[in-house]
Amino acid sequence: MNIYIQELKMSVKSLIYWTFGMLLALMFFMLLFPAISQDAALMNQLISKFPPELTRALGLTTLDLSMALGFYGYLFLFILLIGSVYAMKSGMSVLSEEIRAKTADFLLSKPISRNTIVTAKIMSVLSLLVLQTVFYIIGAFIVVNLTTNQLFDRTTFLLINLSLLLVQLFFAALGLLLSVIVRKIKTVLPIALGIVFGFYVLQMLNQSLTDSNLAYITPFAYFDISKIVATGAYESNYLIINTFMILGFTILTYIIYNKKDMPSI
């Protein structure tokens, strides 16, 4: 419990900064919605001149930018990127920070098991991501209602926003696994940025080439915002895959951490 509380105390400022940044970015772009919705015909005409591959890659084939939910869905792709980087960074740093600071041997000298340490740190990351999702959903609902007078399906809106947590859990679990596999991680953020954007590029290729095989590789395809807006539901097969990936990464983290040699001071 002490480890869990200490991790939360150390990470609360980062949580506030990243969540505030996500909401600030959303507010900035949603302020453009009234002007864009009024010139919807001009916007659609401009988009129609884009190459089909580019239109699909940007996710503009099915999202109607003149509608509040469609415009929000398009912006949410970028919010999802920010949240994924935060999750990846949190997952990678929560275990690797002890190794970087060479305090892992001191922690392991206490009368607690390695499994207890990993569990406490995973629960701290999970708590942070859940809190961020709750704060973001509340803030996003307020922002959307302040910037548009259009009615929108609140259930679909909630599903879109909950996909933030589901994708974040994938990257947090992957970050945890990498933190126990990679021998020495000097800086977490650049690695997190590179991996998240790499998966996003795969999603753009998946949409551009309409290659169903690529969709199984990147979590951004598991919760396709345009499909959520169109159907008001998740695709069950991708939801199952995401769950198994998260569980697989987490189990491997426990196994490898228990066998890992920790550097001493």
What was the pLDDT predicted at 189?
87
What was the pLDDT predicted at 48?
61
SS3 labels along 114-130 = HHHHHHHHHHHHHHHHH
Q: At what angle do helices 154-181 and 114-147 cross, to 10 degrees?
A: 150
User: pLDDT digit of tens for each residue in the chain (265 aa)?
Assistant: 677 888 888 888 999 999 999 999 999 988 888 877 776 656 666 666 655 555 555 555 666 777 888 888 888 988 999 999 999 999 998 887 766 555 555 555 566 777 888 888 899 999 999 999 999 999 999 999 988 888 888 899 999 999 999 999 999 999 999 988 887 777 888 899 999 999 988 887 877 776 667 778 889 889 888 888 888 889 899 999 999 999 999 999 999 988 876 655 5
Of 258, 252, 245, 11, the C-alpha closest to 117 is: 258
C-beta of residue 54 within 8 angstroms of C-beta of residue 209: no
Question: Domain residue spans in the chain?
Answer: 2-259
What was the pLDDT predicted at 206?
75
What was the pLDDT predicted at 167?
95
CA 194 – CA 260 distance, rounded (Å): 25
The DSSP secondary structure of 69-82, one letter per residue, reads: HHHHHHHHHHHHHH
What was the pLDDT predicted at 47?
61
Of 97, 95, 96, 161, the C-alpha closest to 129 is: 161
pTM over 0.75: yes
Encode burial over 29-56: b for 16+ CB neighbours within 10 A, e otherwise: bbeebeeebeeeeebeeeeeeeeeeebb
